[in-house]
Structure 1
Amino acid sequence: MTVPFIEQSKEHFSKNNRIRDYQSHTCKVHSVDWSCDGHRLASGSVDKSISIFNLDKDRLNKESTLKGHSDSVDQLSWHPSHPDLLATASLDKTVRLWDSRVAKNYATINTKGENINICWSPDGSSIAVGNKEDLITFIDAKQQKIKVEQPFKFEVNEISWNNDNDLFFLTSGQGAIHVLSYPDLQPQVVLNAHPANCICIEFDSTGKYFAVGSADTMVSIWDANHLVCLRTISRLEWPARAISFSHDGKLLASGSEDLLIDISYVETGEKISGVPVDSPTFTVAFHPSRYILAFACDDKDTFGRDAGTVKIFGLPNGN
């Protein structure tokens, strides 16, 4: 089964190798994410706005622009099962909840610091947001109120629940992964994952794996149930800053300051494809049901200004 899949995947990306640019913002794009049904793509930017695109067959169409934040939108996340609800984290010290059907902000939660990352719990009941002061705030998504504020004495980079919703993971500046029980947030284990800063973390949709990107340029792939490192991918030459699993958990995209986004076969670490880019990549997101990759780079226009574009790789080239 392995060889046919690898060959089919390589053939897919070889045939559908065009990168399409979509004008999204007036400044750098910090975050991209697909809705759970794959019909919409959202992007957040330094220009304080969120852009919503609709995937119509094999092309993106701009649907709306969401405004309300007073500072950079550093990360955003769609609800895990409701395809219209979106949460955004901003340096303006707020978390905002949006309904994309009406392009409206229906809740604003004030937090204590400049927010840089955000995620939903798998059951959609909670939102976790991290700020620059290493404080994680847990929000009741239904009541739109803060439940718990948990400070940490180490550098917290990215956060995530496991798929079973009973563990909470944090990547640290000391090269470790801290695992807490949830909802009581008691320390369970510290995984010494890398010799340098652990930057990003992602769980695959099947619940079998999670991956960690590090400043040591490597991406490690872990058994999500036994918390054991299975393999590392070491083709990047710069810190791995953004990772994303494909919908079936078989492929992993890794972005960095390298001028190539690496797409690997998870079971072996073998390279499936590479996406050429002209500037550093800081956000990547695989589509939830197709081998389509959305990403954004630190690219400039012909006048040297931030291009503010969202890029798509893997759509059929004929359309």
Structure 2
Amino acid sequence: MAPPRRNLLPKDRFAFSFGSLKTQNYHDPVARGNGSHTIRTIAWNPTGQLVATGSADRTLRIWNPERSQVKYSTELRGHTAGIEKVVFNPVRDSELASCSTDGTVRVWDVRTKTCVSRLDVGGEAFTLSWSADGSVMVVGRKDDTLIPISIESPSSPSILADGTTSNAPGPPQKPNLAPSIYRALEPHPQPIQTNATTFSHHISKSDTPSFHLFATTGEGTVKIISYPSFNVLHTLHAHTSACLSIALAPTGRYLAIGGSDALISLWDTTDWICKRTVSSNNGGAVRGVSWSFDGRFIVGACDEVGCGGNGLEIFHAETGESVYTVPTGGNANSGIPAVAWHPSRYWLAYSTTADGSGPGGLKIVGAAGGSL
């Protein structure tokens, strides 16, 4: 059963409460060849019962956050190159997608530990996002091409707090086990460098669902794109250098954009005005951003040397104040490549690069007996 959603923490109590939580280490001894075992990507499933990690040495692993030993985890094998992004289906808590520089997107059933679909996307894939209703993914290739992937499911169940679904009349049912069909659609080459993407939460109710796709660019802008037409509706001039990462708050109120200028800008989605920017004392390009489940707190990831030496800084979105710094235990050579807040608790997963002070790997603040 998913952990219950807890009371919301006010800003002035956050440091005391969150700072009392312990950090659990999850060490994966597997390392292939000469490649780095750095975890590049982290994703929680919708109920927060599982967390997936993908590494540069092609290791894809599913962890039980309450059991840190690797023997309780599951390795999913198939990719032949580094894994760049993992993301769970928002409406199917056991369905995981991963993309890799081996040119494929793979979809996994984490219950049966099998790959249920393998799609060749025609080039090195490095970014992936999933629409809120689970009906489409968009994968980004390193040649700045976006490729939509349609998911045709017998049903689109809604995950409830107890793990059941509400996709049919009558009592809640367990998630539909029928397989989905995945199809790569027409590629959409982009005129400029295109980095991370994310979807809007809102989906139009029509025969052909439509939503907005946000795409960051190397020119410091974010394109607001209509899906499925891929028409550009609006352009946000967000940073003075490349925009690298993006995340929409769970409340839908703010869009967070991380840049190579070491800033995270927060944009009001009602008027598309930048309300404030935040920046970690560690500096460095922001290659990942994540929101707490309540949309109140935000954190950024930086894999550059030195970014992990002074800890992981958490900010209050409404004021831009730094409210707490997680002591990561790194040294001057360490970085923090990935961060991900739990979907319903004040638990924070992050990865560290290997350095002289330790092997690196996955860490979760709060999983070791946390109560927030």
Distance 2:248 2:68 in 1: 26
User: Please, which of 232, 248, 254 is the counterpart of residue 294 of structure 2?
Assistant: 248
User: What is the aligned partner in structure 2 of residue 147 from structure 1?
Assistant: 185
Structure 1 residues 100 and 318: CA distance shift in structure 2, 3 A: closer
The Cα shift of 1:141 comes to 2.0
Distance 1:177 1:309 in 2: 31
The Cα shift of 1:60 comes to 3.9
RMSD: 1.9
Q: Deviations over 1:204-257 (max 9, x none)?
A: 111111100111111101112322211100234212121100011011011224
User: What is the aligned partner in structure 2 of residue 67 from structure 1?
Assistant: 77
User: What is the aligned partner in structure 2 of residue 295 from structure 1?
Assistant: 350
User: What is the aligned partner in structure 1 of residue 23 from structure 2?
Assistant: 19
1:55 aligns to what SS in structure 2?
coil
1:274 aligns to what SS in structure 2?
strand
User: What is the aligned partner in structure 1 of residue 175 from structure 2?
Assistant: none
Counterpart AA for 1:314: G
Structure 1 residues 316 and 132: CA distance shift in structure 2, 3 A: same
Does residue 310 (structure 1) correspond to residue 362 (structure 2)? The answer is yes
The Cα shift of 1:308 comes to 5.5
User: Please, which of 274, 279, 294 is the counterpart of residue 229 of structure 1?
Assistant: 274
Does residue 51 (structure 1) correspond to residue 56 (structure 2)? The answer is no
Distance 1:318 1:222 in 2: 32
2:222 aligns to what SS in structure 1?
strand
User: What is the aligned partner in structure 1 of residue 158 from structure 2?
Assistant: none
User: What is the aligned partner in structure 2 of residue 238 from structure 1?
Assistant: 284
User: Please, which of 286, 294, 297 is the counterpart of residue 341 of structure 2?
Assistant: 286
Distance 1:221 1:45 in 2: 29
Structure 1 residues 67 and 129: CA distance shift in structure 2, 3 A: same
Q: TM-score, length-normalised on structure 2?
A: 0.79
User: What is the aligned partner in structure 1 of residue 166 from structure 2?
Assistant: none
Is the CA contact 1:255–1:262 (under 8 Å) kept in the aligned structure 2? no
User: What is the aligned partner in structure 1 of residue 171 from structure 2?
Assistant: none
Q: 3-12 vs 18-27, which deviates more?
A: 3-12
Equivalent positions of 1:90-105 (< 5 A) are 90-105=100-115
The Cα shift of 1:318 comes to 7.6
User: What is the aligned partner in structure 2 of residue 109 from structure 1?
Assistant: 119
Equivalent positions of 1:106-255 (< 5 A) are 106-142=116-152, 143-165=181-203, 166-236=211-281, 237-255=283-301
Q: Deviations over 1:7-30 (max 9, x none)?
A: 2211112211x3322113521111
Q: Deviations over 1:253-278 (max 9, x none)?
A: 11224222211111111111112331
The Cα shift of 1:317 comes to 5.8
1:282 aligns to what SS in structure 2?
coil
Structure 1 residues 233 and 318: CA distance shift in structure 2, 3 A: closer
User: What is the aligned partner in structure 2 of residue 267 from structure 1?
Assistant: 318
1:9 aligns to what SS in structure 2?
helix
The Cα shift of 1:67 comes to 0.2
Is the CA contact 2:65–2:367 (under 8 Å) kept in the aligned structure 1? no
Is the CA contact 2:24–2:366 (under 8 Å) kept in the aligned structure 1? no
Q: Deviations over 1:260-310 (max 9, x none)?
A: 2211111111111112331111110000011111111222377x9xx3621
Query: Structure 1: which 5+ residue stretches go unaligned?
Result: none
User: What is the aligned partner in structure 1 of residue 174 from structure 2?
Assistant: none
Distance 1:191 1:311 in 2: 34
Identity %: 30
Distance 2:301 2:145 in 1: 26
Counterpart AA for 2:60: I
Distance 2:370 2:364 in 1: 14
Give the number of the structure whose residues are more often strand, by fraction.
1
Is the CA contact 1:242–1:281 (under 8 Å) kept in the aligned structure 2? no
